[in-house]
Structures are given as structure tokens and as C-alpha cells.
Amino acid sequence: MELTQDQLIKLYTLMVRTRKCDELIVNALKSGKAIGFFHSGQGSEAVPIGACTFNLRDDDYLYPHHRGHGIGYMLARGLSPKPFVASHMGRVAQDVEGPTARERGIHGGSGTIGASFVLSAGMGITAKKNGKNQITACFFGDGSANRGTLHEAMNLASVWKLPIVWVCENNLYAQYMPLKDSMAREDIADLASGYNMPGVIVDGQDVLAVHEAVKAAVDRARAGEGPSLVECKTYRYRGHSEGGPDISHYEPRPAKELEEWKKRDPIKLFRENLLQQGVLTDADVERIDKEIEAEAETLEKYADECPIPKPEDPSVLDRLLYAE
């Protein structure tokens, strides 16, 4: 089924919003407003948006990849960005509208990279047992693909024909480790043949290509034909984490590499495509940018007003650890 004009515009808008929310946290860390780590996902917006916006049902299960701390997935699934922004400022989100992560089947991000593979297998078992053609989508990075959990989970999923779609966001680096030195092959999609499941490579800068490839994998899983692997070739624009070095092993990443990838920026590519097709006009593009700019300003003000939890009052932690 072809995407409608409204759907195309939605994909575009979601990518721009994802980028903006990411920039917001990067800047808030610089100004000392945000706390902790942030791993920017700038450059790879087409992966979560292309994969998750129109291919998943509300009752599907989703394990996001850690990059961008899940913002692309949340927006694609219709969640408010308020908790994302507030929590990075160390604050407790208030008055959050729209569905919760749980209501859209979103679980994780794991602090330990690669934990989601095996958990996804459990979600896959559940989806199968429920008998409602649900599927599980598990996202991971090129680095994560080196965890042994990948093997255990993919093998199990394939033997049991679990309805799982594995999506790799291959951005060529894992922290400071370039892919060429961490794997004896170039394509992560090759792994699929070892588990006798389809593995496809897709241009991760092309949001429609991601959408299509993941759609095919989702359809296959829903039809009870088992798991598939989709590898999205992409790149991260910024260093591994904010404040840290931007390096390959211990030397700066090649400047040329970034330059080349930026020529194929996923937002830029799609904007050009939509302008060319007449789906968007320059005026539309400007309006969307302005709206999202305004949303970001509102979000930041909103976060400033959310309360900082008080360690002497543990009520926000009470009832978290054990179920009644």
C-alpha cells in the first residue's frame, strides 16, 4: 500500500522533531541544564521513524536502540516528548498527554547494550502465544551485534518461528570502535543466513526504504513465517556521547567521512524528494520548521517548571521495586 501525502508529511515532520529534541538535550547539557549521559542520534532519524511510524500496531512490542535515548521511537509511536525532555533535566514530567510507553509496547532501553535480544525472544513467545498476530521489533547497533545474546536470541527465534523483526542501526561505530575492526564482515545482514532467516540491507538515510524493508519483515512475522533481519546503513554525526571525544580507536574520525554522510542527511534527502514531488512547498517546509522550533521552546520551558525530585522524599521511588 502506497503511503498517502499526509503520511509522507508525517514521516518528514517526525524526523525533524526527532532531530530537534536531540539538539535540545545536546544544548541543555552544554548549558549545564541536563544531567547524566546523552548519546545523540543525529544523522540516523530515518531508522526509528521509517521503521516504527506506520508498520507497527499499538499492541506490538518494541525494544528501541539506545541512540538518541529512544526519542525517535517515542515520537513515531505517538508518545509525548515531555518525559524524554524532563527526565534528561533530572525532573519529573508533569501533565503528560497521549499514550504511555507501555500502552505502545515500548520496553527498555537497557543500560547494558545487547540485553534486548534475549528479552525480545520472550516478547516474541508472548506475541505468538497471544494468537493475535502481534509482532516484536528489536532494534540494535552494529556494536551490540557482537554480544553473544544475539546468537542465543536469533537462534531461538528462528527455530521457534517467533514473530520478531530485528533492525540493526549500523552507524559504523560502537563508541570508539570502528566496525571494520570489530567484525570480520561488512554486512550485519549476513548474519541472518546463519539462522536461516531473511536478511536485507537497506539505505538507512532513506526513510521510505527503511519503511518498506521493515514493512516486508513485519508482514512476514505477522503471517507466522518467523523472524527477519533488516540492516540499515547509517552514520552518527556526533561523538559517542556528549562531552566525550569523537574518535575511531584513539584518533579523530575522518572529517571527510562526516562530510560525505551529511550530503546524504536523511531529513535533507526526504525534504528534497517531497519538494520535487510537490508534496511539500518551500512555504510548508518553513512552516514545519517554525512549528517544531516553537514546540522545542515550549518543551524547554515546560521542563524548567517540572519539579526536581527530592532525595529526602523517596515517594517517587516507593512502590517501584516490588509489585503489591
Binding site for ligand TPP (CB under 6 A): 39, 66-67, 111-114, 141-144, 169, 171, 173-175
Q: Which does 298 bind (CB under 5 to 8 A by kind): Mg ion, ligand TPP, other proteins, none?
A: none
Please choose, out of 68-76, 173-181, 282-290, 295-303, the segment that lies near other proteins by the rule CB under 8 A. 173-181
Size of the residue set binding Mg ion (CB under 5 A):
5
- For residue 12, CA distances in Å to 39, 72, 99, 270 come to 22, 12, 21, 7
Q: Which residue in 81, 143, 204, 227 binds other proteins (CB under 8 A)?
A: 143
**114, 163, 204, 226: which one binds other proteins (CB under 8 A):** 114
Q: Is 297 exposed, middle or buried (0-12, 13-18, 19+ CB in 10 A)?
A: exposed
Contact yes or no for 167/138 (Cβ under 8 A): yes
Identity of the residue, 86 or 267, whose beta carbon is nearer to other proteins in the bound complex: 86
Which C-beta is closer to other proteins: that of 30 or that of 132? 30
**147 grid coordinates:** 554480544
Which single residue is written with the C-alpha cell 560502537?
A: 174
CB-CB contact of 296 with 25 (8 Å): no
For residue 141, what are the β-bridge partners?
169
Q: Which does 291 bind (CB under 5 to 8 A by kind): ligand TPP, other proteins, Mg ion, none?
A: none
> For the chain, what is the total number of helices (H) and then of strands (E)?
12, 9
Contact 176, 95 (CB under 8 A): no
CB 213 within 8 Å of CB 167: no
Question: In terms of C-beta density within 10 A (0-12 exposed, 13-18 middle, 19 or more buried), how is residue 218 classed?
Answer: buried
* Amino acid identity for residue 260 in this structure: E
Q: Which does 16 bind (CB under 5 to 8 A by kind): ligand TPP, Mg ion, other proteins, none?
A: none
Q: What angle do CA 59, 7, 64 make, to 5 degrees?
A: 40
Q: How far apart are CA 163 and CA 168, in angstroms?
A: 16
Site string for other proteins, 211-250 (x = CB under 8 A): ----------------------------------x-x-xx
Candidate list 142, 206, 231, 242; residue touching Mg ion; CB under 5 A = 142
18 binds other proteins (CB under 8 A): no
Q: Give the type of residue at 294.
A: A
| 136-141 and 61-63 strand pairing | parallel
265 near Mg ion, judged by CB under 5 A:
no
Query: Which of other proteins, Mg ion, ligand TPP, none does 317 bind, CB closer than 5 to 8 A by kind?
Result: other proteins
**Residue 160 found at the interface with other proteins (CB under 8 A):** no
Query: CB-wise, 175 or 277, nearer to Mg ion?
Result: 175
The smaller minimum CB distance to other proteins, of residues 2 and 251, is found at: 251
**Residue 67, contacted partner among ligand TPP, Mg ion, other proteins, none, CB below 5-8 A by kind:** ligand TPP
Binding site for other proteins (CB under 8 A): 35-37, 87, 90, 110-114, 143-144, 146-148, 174-177, 181-183, 245, 247, 249-250, 308-312, 314, 316-317, 320-321
